[in-house]
Amino acid sequence: MSATAVRRLPPVAEVAVATMVLVIVGGIYLASSLPKQAALGPAVGLLAASGVLLAWNVITLRRLRPFAWATFFLVARWSLVGYIVIAGMLEYVFVRDHVRGSLLAVLTLMLTVYAVNIPLLLGFSVARYQSPAGD
Where are the domains positioned within the chain? 11-134
Coil, helix or strand at residue 9: coil
Q: What is the pLDDT of residue 73?
A: 96
* Stronger pLDDT, 68 or 4, i.e. the higher one: 68
Q: Which residues contact 4 (CB under 8 A, 6 or more apart)?
A: 128, 129, 130, 131
Q: What is the pLDDT of residue 6?
A: 61
Q: Band the pLDDT of 4: cuts 50, 70, 90.
A: very low
What global pTM score does this model have? 0.88
Q: Band the pLDDT of 97: cuts 50, 70, 90.
A: confident
Task: Work out the percent of the chain whose per-residue pLDDT is above 70.
Answer: 93
**Mean pLDDT throughout 83-89?**
96
pLDDT at position 45 over 50:
yes
Sequence-distant contacts of 32-39: CB under 8 A, at least 24 apart: 34/97, 34/99, 35/97, 35/98, 37/103, 38/103
Q: Please report, in angstroms and rounded to a whole number, the separation of the first and last CA atoms in the chain.
A: 21
